[in-house]
A = this chain, B = another copy of it.
């Protein structure tokens, strides 16, 4: 698990978000009880907590490996448990890693329609990294290709700016909202 490149990419994005002043929580779908996830046991406390995390988030960063030209089945199993409008009002930043450049379009052709079906308010431009661009660095995590690191910086900054803009609109029109809670889902 810890050896998943997409999880590491997600951790990296989370740290950047924290650096920009946002709170976030990590959610590793693979750590959820498999039985509860696949058999839709909404009374499982871990599952319920994970779904509540998504429900409360203002933004969700989703990361997935690309398998068989699409998002992972595990990620989709979790998204299947969200309510129909489970991403309504939320910003989403999609990340993925894959064996080669050939599968880059899997994010926009496969994952994005699912995020749209979940009524995401705004799906930001996707970021795709090949395995070669995300190298393992001993026990310290990952070494990112400079181009990918720059794209993630840009993506996270764009997400941050959109969150702040949304909050200002909310402030102006409605009551103040608490400090943003960005949560990440793998």
**Chain A window 44-78, contacts with chain B (Cβ cutoff 8 Å), 1 for yes, 0 for no:** 00000000000000000000000111111111111
- Which of A71, A106, A116 gathers the greatest number of chain B CB atoms within 10 Å? A116
**In whole angstroms, how far apart are the Cα atoms of A161 and B82 in the complex?**
27
Across the interface, do A30 and B39 meet the contact criterion of CB distance under 8 Å? yes
Q: Which residues of chain A in 155-179 are interfacial with respect to chain B, using CB atoms and an 8 Å cutoff?
A: 161, 165-166, 168-169
Chain B residues whose C-beta falls within 8 Å of the C-beta of A122 in the assembled complex: 122
Determine the residue in chain B with the shortest Cβ distance to A86: B68
Q: Complex formed: what's the CA distance from A72 to B161 in Å?
A: 34
Q: List chain B residues, Cβ under 8 A from A30.
A: 38-39
- Asked if A183 is an interface residue, CB under 8 A from chain B, the answer is no
Report A106-131 residues with CB < 8 Å from chain B CB. 106, 108-110, 112-114, 116-119, 122-123, 125-126
**Within 8 Å CB of A69, what residues of B?**
105, 108-109, 113-114, 116-117
Alpha-carbon distance A65/B159, docked complex (angstroms):
33
Question: With A73-B79, A77-B77, A165-B169 given, is the CB distance from A125 to B116 under 8 Å?
Answer: yes
Binds B, one of A7-15, A17-25, A96-104, A134-142: A96-104
Extra contacts besides A68-B114, A69-B117 (14): CB < 8 Å: A38-B38, A68-B76, A68-B79, A73-B74, A73-B76, A73-B77, A76-B77, A102-B104, A105-B105, A109-B109, A110-B113, A116-B125, A165-B165, A168-B168
